[in-house]
Structure 1
Amino acid sequence: MVLVTGGTGLVGSHLLLKLAMQNVPVRAIYRSVEKLEQVKKTFSYYTTNVTALYDKIDWVQGDILDIPSLDDAFQNVTHVYHCAALISFSPSDFNILDRVNREGTANIVNMCIAKNVQKLCYVSTIGTIGRTSTSLAADEETEFNRQFANPYAITKHLAEMEVWRGAQEQIQVVIINPGVILGPGYWENGSGSFFKTAHKNYSYYPPGGSGFVAVADVTAIMVQLMNTDIHGERYIVVASNNTYKEVLEMISRAMNKKAPYKKLQPWQLQIGKYLDLLRHLLTGKPRTITHSTIHGLLHPTTFDSSKIIKTLDYTFEPLENSITFSSRIFMKEHAE
């Protein structure tokens, strides 16, 4: 039996679809019934056989912070895909990020040890890959530095340390460090904001860029790694390094919208940071523009995926293919 945590998220739902289509016995953890509807919707983007595939999954209600529910979920499990995480870049959310991302991962690792799980695949982030001070691309050996890291990256780095602890306890582990993951259906958070931004015809785009990858590539690589004898390794999973301007232009083109053409200047970002702080103080909503955010925008890093390409002889899907597919779904769901 294969267990998937975070099965109602972007990566988890796509992974479940892939495993169900391959007839892999799979169990998934969910927290609320409402989130299960998004999984069905995600399945519907790719198949008309939604109900049959969805019913192949053994759904267990639980939480990675709730040990008794994990004990139920881990019964007869041999392989675990740990996709569950909390994403926030707001310093005020550090404690809850630490609980979910570090402590939650520690719980998963402890259950893997206790239940003699054969292999664990952990979905981390390129945020835990160190930044380079030169034009050279960062790779898996580039040392992580907390100085300009956001709270999410820090807690995911701590979570990776828990996974490596599991490796020392004889659990076979692999870690993937995907870039910004693009895919359909989760428009209200994460990379979904790119599609919402392009749809609104904003004139401004942020400076900098990042590594990007289609969700289909992420899940394909996860499954391939789990089906090999490879363990004790981590892999950057980035299809291409792009500026945010380039990505927004691709989405705008796919939506037949006007692309943003004005780059936000450093002084505008600084003003935005203080306005964002004021909004946070007045409303309690998480901050989105912080010191670390601005530093990342003004000092972008490129990422080297050659290790995973060589290991699996893997060819990434062109990013524009995924963007076009996702944009069409977005437009259909947001038809005026």
Structure 2
Amino acid sequence: MALICANFSRIVEQLNPKNTILVTGATGLVGSQIIQMLDPTACKIIGLARNPPEYPGESLSNHPNDRPNDKIDWIQCDILDVVALEKALKGVTHVYHAAGLVSFDPKMKDQVMKINVEGTANVVNACIKNGVQKLLHVSSVAAIGEAKSAKNLIHEKLEWNDHGASDYGKSKYLGEIEVWRGLCEGLDAVVINPSIIIGAGDWNIGSTAMFKSVYDEFPWYTEGVHGFVDVEDVAKAAIDLMNSGVVGERFIINGANISYKFLFDLIADGFSKPRPGKKVTPLLAEFVWRIKYLKGKLTGKPSILNKNTARTALSICEYDNSKLKKVLPEFSFMPIKETVERTCNLLKEKYEL
């Protein structure tokens, strides 16, 4: 797949005020941030969501710089509804596909596959049918192959191997396949693969649940390493890539490779809570996740700690973001400490902590 260098005429074309930009998953963590960063004076913006805001004049989040979304057209639509989706994309020139389901709960496998694979196929088909100029698909580093050893950085060209991969990872990989299929059918598309996204979303689900866990003084930590990135950086990279001439490529969006221990300590400090003090060994992890899983079964509140998340938290996965920096040389990532501090403050305001 060729990397087509950005050119001025194409950028001007995509910033044309006559363009209509649609964002799927527009109330989610990434989708809402993209909505906030798009300029409603430069183009028409449509937010697609299963449950759009009840009061369109309100902001999507608690960020003090967020503008109200009264200049956004909202459409209630499920990406699994083919007819409604094709209707929603009529007249749309550019699509950010940020809708998806993040879950590592085995009970959610069928739903994860349906939304992340079938839903993405529906979006791709609707884009092709309506002559959309460009699609930006929000995937995940979970869809990228593994490095041969912990000493090697994970990069975009690693060969996919579903051995040991989570159902979520498989769903994101298969979703990407649908995007590449669309590319072969004439749709200009680009894919971003964010690492673990940090932002003030719903702290009962997704990556933001880590903040609730630390706030609730969950005492365990691991020395596993993973990539983390500010949600604002993900949205900024998405917009910059959409406004470039780049098509047919995927990009890891990763701000920093740090240990979970370091991250949890930052979160604890941000909430003025005690830092987790009990180190999890591989053997202990197998025990703890089972206890948490059984507790979730009894209470009806699934824990973020399960077989997949426990083992991931112990592994060392470091991601290479150099490809993005080559294409967007002026791009810079928010320091992880600043990201965590801001997110803690926003969550304290959001949940009146």
So what's the TM-score if we normalise by structure 2?
0.88
Give the Cα separation in 2 of the matches to 1:301 and 1:213: 14
Say which is worse superposed, 180-189 or 285-294, in terms of deviation: 285-294
Please give the per-residue CA displacement for 1:120-153, whole angstroms capped at 9, x wherever unaligned: 0000001111121311111001112211111111
Q: Does 1:45 align with 2:63?
A: yes
Query: Of 114, 139, 156, which residue of structure 2 is paired with 1:99?
Result: 114
Give the Cα separation in 2 of the matches to 1:259 and 1:39: 39
Q: State the Cα distance separating 1:256 from its structure 2 match.
A: 2.3
Corresponding residue of 1:149 = 165
Q: In angstroms, what is the RMSD of aligned CA positions?
A: 2.1
Give the Cα separation in 2 of the matches to 1:137 and 1:219: 23
Corresponding residue of 2:324 = 308
Say which is worse superposed, 158-167 or 316-325, in terms of deviation: 316-325
Matched-pair contact (CA < 8 Å) for 1:6–1:83: yes
Query: Of 242, 246, 271, which residue of structure 1 is paired with 2:287?
Result: 271
Which structure dedicates a bigger proportion of its chain to helix? 1
Corresponding residue of 1:319 = 336
Say which is worse superposed, 251-260 or 102-111, in terms of deviation: 251-260
Corresponding residue of 2:261 = 245
Matched-pair contact (CA < 8 Å) for 2:190–2:250: yes
- Percent identity among equivalent residues? 36
What are the equivalent positions in structure 2 for 1:74-113 lying under 5 Å apart? 74-113=89-128
Corresponding residue of 1:125 = 140
SS at match of 1:122: strand
Query: Of 314, 328, 333, which residue of structure 1 is paired with 2:345?
Result: 328
Amino acid at match of 1:239: G
Q: State the Cα distance separating 1:286 from its structure 2 match.
A: 4.7
Amino acid at match of 1:72: K
Matched residues, number: 332
Distance 1:143 1:15, change over 3 A: same
Distance 1:244 1:158, change over 3 A: same
Q: Does 1:11 align with 2:30?
A: yes
Matched-pair contact (CA < 8 Å) for 2:62–2:350: no
Say which is worse superposed, 318-327 or 24-33, in terms of deviation: 24-33
Q: State the Cα distance separating 1:333 from its structure 2 match.
A: 3.4
Matched-pair contact (CA < 8 Å) for 2:59–2:67: no
What are the equivalent positions in structure 2 for 1:119-268 lying under 5 Å apart? 119-134=134-149, 135-268=151-284
SS at match of 1:56: coil
Say which is worse superposed, 294-303 or 240-249, in terms of deviation: 294-303
So what's the TM-score if we normalise by structure 1?
0.92
Matched-pair contact (CA < 8 Å) for 1:20–1:56: no
What are the equivalent positions in structure 2 for 1:286-305 lying under 5 Å apart? 286=302, 288-305=304-321
Q: State the Cα distance separating 1:41 from its structure 2 match.
A: 4.5
Task: Structure 2 unaligned segments of length 5 or more: list them.
Answer: 1-19
Matched-pair contact (CA < 8 Å) for 2:120–2:178: yes
Say which is worse superposed, 5-14 or 244-253, in terms of deviation: 244-253
Distance 1:232 1:38, change over 3 A: same
Matched-pair contact (CA < 8 Å) for 1:211–1:303: yes
Give the Cα separation in 1 of the matches to 2:275 and 2:57: 31
Task: Structure 1 unaligned segments of length 5 or more: list them.
Answer: none
SS at match of 1:242: strand
Q: State the Cα distance separating 1:189 from its structure 2 match.
A: 1.2
Amino acid at match of 2:78: D
Give the Cα separation in 2 of the matches to 1:76 and 1:38: 22
